[in-house]
A = this chain, B = another copy of it.
Amino acid sequence: MILTPLLKRSAKGLSWKSLCFFSSTTSRREIRDVAELPERLHPEYHDTKHLELLCLHWPCPPRNVLITKKNSDPSITKSLVELAHHIHTTYPHVNLILEPHAAEEVHEQLCFPVYSSPTPRHEAPPVLRNKVDLIATLGGDGTILHASSLFATAKRVPPILSFSMGTLGFLGEWKFKEYKRAFREVYMSGAGVRYGSSLFEEDQPAAPCPDAPKESIAKDPCDSSAHIHPSTPMGWSSIRGMSMGNGRGARILLRNRLKVQIVSPSSRNPPPPIHAMNEVILHRGADPHLAIVEVFVGGRFLTEAVADGIIVSTPTGSTAYSLSSGGSIVHPLVSSLLLTPVCPRSLSFRPLVLPANTPITLRLSEKNRGREVDVSIDGVKSSVAVGVGMEVRVWGEDIRNREGVWCGGVPSIVRGRENGAGGEDHWVGGLNGLLKFNYPFGEET
């Protein structure tokens, strides 16, 4: 079992004393198997009055939190440890999951066990997909894309709480220093629903999840007894010292994903679709020559693109590669797909914005004479190159099922302003602050 080397290492920890103030057995610095965790909770998303932002509602407090982080940045690793400690101390029933590399890197600095599971670079093992209630990311846009990619074959992505860490990003919502407020807001989100406005004031116990055995709360954040029943969910009222204030729920921006299938003409069964948060791109890659791609829209032939490549992007991805290729900026709430050419050999290939439910097919033309093109999804090159006759099929994900329930997309936890204003702010702010949108001419001040 792949985890063994990690588990072995746990005994060698030396630095934990600086972080854990209680005596503890070495078992506390263990890496445990994610499989031991209780099943994933699926929150609901309710409509709100703030444009189309949704409100997060947990059925009961989240239990399993995956923290992903950008690699090779020691200061981010430090922040991870800080966040882990905070969560462990304040929300003792929350189990922390780390990716193997991070788990190995930090578990000795933690006085409590973390959970992990071997995750190949771009898809979480089924077990992970069945366990994670909530994701927190520490890094830039790439870290969020990576977190989303772990659920690339899953229908439902856990809500993502993203902290931008110096690395500036357009998708990141929260500053790390806000982590306490942010985590509490997410953790408590929906708690008020069951009790109306009187919740927290009367301090009634919040409903534990139906299948959860009642249990006393661990008093000591480093008391290992809290960990021997990791599946024990606790009601929100168990969180001591919470001043619930207005009980404001976390705001969710459901970012549409797109679905991608790489189909070869010979294959009988097309592979299951992979979801992308930003885009899928077909690109000449290392070949110095133009690629020739036939583009079909809604089942009809649209055009033959002779170009470096072709991007099909979500509105979220409209500020990523598509932007660099001349695409318009599309607000994430415009239900649509973008078709943007990369360096087309034509004066008249203007980017298109299509309804999200339009199926788009990109077929590598016979004219490429045997040459292959690269396919990348959210910046990660597919191991499968696309050869002549092969097709990349793309269409938008439904984020509402037939009953009108919001269930797809990437639920991004939006940072509201203190006064309760919505997430528009962030997007407009991102245009100006990050993309330097319409940056005025004139000398710097």
Contact = CB atoms under 8 A, between A and B. Distances in A.
Interface of A: 51-52, 168, 285-286, 288-289, 297-298, 300, 302-308, 315, 318, 321, 323-331, 333-336, 338, 341-355, 357-358, 374, 376, 379-381, 424-425, 428, 431-444
Contacts of A355: 51-52, 331, 333-334
Contact of A303 (B285, B432, B441): B432
A295 B231 CA distance: 52
A15 B304 CA distance: 41
Which of A308, A348, A381 neighbours the largest number of chain B CB atoms within 10 Å of its CB? Answer: A348
Contact of A329 (B286, B307, B353, B424): B353
Contact of A443 (B306, B333, B433): B433
A438 B346 CA distance: 6
Nearest to A429: B300
A240 to B, nearest CB: 37
26 contacts: A51-B357, A168-B441, A168-B443, A285-B285, A285-B286, A286-B374, A288-B379, A298-B424, A302-B428, A302-B431, A304-B440, A308-B308, A315-B353, A324-B344, A327-B328, A328-B351, A328-B353, A329-B352, A334-B336, A334-B355, A341-B438, A344-B438, A346-B438, A348-B435, A348-B438, A350-B437
Given A289-B379, A425-B300, A323 B347 contact: yes
A166 to B, nearest CB: 10
Given A331-B358, A343-B343, 4 more contacts: A315-B353, A324-B345, A348-B436, A349-B438
B285 A424 contact: no
B288 A345 contact: no
A353 B303 CA distance: 23
A437 B324 contact: no
Contacts of A323: 345, 347, 350
Contact of A439 (B302, B343, B346): B346
Contacts of A333: 355
Contacts of A315: 353
A288 B335 contact: no
Contacts of A436: 346-348, 436, 439-441
A140 to B, nearest CB: 10
A435 B347 contact: yes
Which of A51, A168, A300, A436 neighbours the largest number of chain B CB atoms within 10 Å of its CB? Answer: A436
